[in-house]
Chains A and B, each alone.
Chain A
Amino acid sequence: MNFAIFRLTVRELTGQRRMLLMLLLAAVPVLLSIIYSLGDKIDHPDWTAGMLTTVVVTVVLPLICLILGTSALGSEIEDGTVVYILAKPVPRLQIVTAKFAAAALVSAVLVVPATAISGVVSMSGVPAEGLAAGFTLGVAFGVLAYTALFLLLSLVTSRALLFGLVYVFVWEGLLTNLFDAVAYVSIRQYCLGIADAVATVGPEDLDADLAGGVALALVVVVTIAALYFATRRLETLELSESE
Chain B
Amino acid sequence: MSVETATVIEVTNVSRWYGNVVAVNDVTFSLGPGITGLLGPNGAGKSTILHMLAGFLKPSAGSVQIAGEPVWRNSERLYRSAGLVPEREAVYGFMTGYEFVFLNAQLHGLADPVEATRRALSAVGMEHAEKRKLGGYSKGMKQRIKIASAIVHDPQVLLLDEPFNGTDPGQRLEMMELLRQMAADGKTIVFSSHILEEVERLAEQVLVIVAGRLAASGDFRAIRKLMTDRPHVFTLASSDNRRFAQALVGDESVIAVELGKNDLTVRTAQFSEFVRVAPRIAKEQQITLRELIPTDESLESVFSYLVNR
- Which of A135-143, A179-187, A231-239 lines the interface with chain B? A231-239
A236 to chain B, nearest CB (A): 7
A79 within 8 A of B: yes
Residues of B within 8 A of A242 (CB): 47, 87-88
Determine the distance from Cα of A235 to Cα of B94 in the docked complex, in whole angstroms. 27
A243 within 8 A of B: yes
- Which of A49-57, A81-89, A151-159, A205-213 lines the interface with chain B? A81-89
A202 within 8 A of B: no
B187 within 8 A of A: no
- Could you tell me if B107 and A4 are in contact, using CB atoms closer than 8 angstroms? yes
B68 within 8 A of A: no
Nearest A residue (CB) for B73: A235
List CB contacts (< 8 Å) of A216-243 with chain B. Answer: 235-236, 238-239, 241-243
- Which of A7-15, A116-124, A163-171 lines the interface with chain B? A7-15
Q: Which of B43, B48, B76, B87 contacts A89 (CB 8 A)?
A: B76
- Could you tell me if A8 and B87 are in contact, using CB atoms closer than 8 angstroms? no
- Could you tell me if B48 and A87 are in contact, using CB atoms closer than 8 angstroms? no
Residues of B within 8 A of A236 (CB): 58, 73
Determine the distance from Cα of A243 to Cα of B73 in the docked complex, in whole angstroms. 23
Residues of A within 8 A of B88 (CB): 79-80, 83, 242
Q: Per-residue CB proximity of B74-107 to A under 8 Å, as 1/0?
A: 0111011011101110111011000000011011
A2 within 8 A of B: yes
Q: Which of A84, A91, A238, A243 contacts B47 (CB 8 A)?
A: A243
- Could you tell me if B107 and A85 are in contact, using CB atoms closer than 8 angstroms? yes
- Could you tell me if B109 and A89 are in contact, using CB atoms closer than 8 angstroms? yes
A5 within 8 A of B: yes
- Which of B49-57, B269-277, B291-299 lines the interface with chain A? B49-57
A94 to chain B, nearest CB (A): 10
Chain B interface residue count: which class? Answer: 35 or more
B1 to chain A, nearest CB (A): 10
Given A88-B79, A238-B57, decide whether A83 and B84 contact each other with a Cβ distance below 8 A: yes
Tell me how many residues of A have a C-beta within 8 Å of chain B: 26
Q: Per-residue CB proximity of B258-292 to A under 8 Å, as 1/0?
A: 00000000000000000000000000000000000
A109 within 8 A of B: no
B172 within 8 A of A: no
Determine the distance from Cα of A12 to Cα of B99 in the docked complex, in whole angstroms. 13
B108 within 8 A of A: yes
Given A4-B107, A8-B103, decide whether A84 and B48 contact each other with a Cβ distance below 8 A: no
- Could you tell me if B56 and A86 are in contact, using CB atoms closer than 8 angstroms? yes
Residues of B within 8 A of A11 (CB): 94-95
Residues of A within 8 A of B107 (CB): 2, 4-5, 84-85, 88-90
Interface-centre pick from B47, B80, B86, B149 (highest chain A CB count, 10 A): B86
Nearest A residue (CB) for B80: A89
- Could you tell me if A84 and B79 are in contact, using CB atoms closer than 8 angstroms? no
- Could you tell me if B43 and A243 are in contact, using CB atoms closer than 8 angstroms? yes
A86 to chain B, nearest CB (A): 6
18 A-B residue pairings within 8 Å (CB atoms): A4-B103, A4-B106, A4-B107, A5-B107, A79-B88, A81-B90, A84-B104, A86-B56, A87-B83, A88-B104, A88-B107, A89-B79, A89-B80, A89-B109, A238-B57, A239-B56, A242-B47, A242-B87
Interface of A toward B, CB cutoff 8 Å: 2, 4-5, 8, 11-12, 15, 79-81, 83-91, 235-236, 238-239, 241-243
Given A80-B86, A89-B80, A89-B108: 19 more A-B contacts, CB < 8 Å? A2-B107, A4-B107, A8-B92, A8-B103, A12-B94, A80-B88, A84-B91, A84-B92, A84-B149, A85-B107, A86-B56, A87-B83, A88-B79, A89-B75, A89-B77, A90-B76, A243-B46, A243-B48, A243-B87
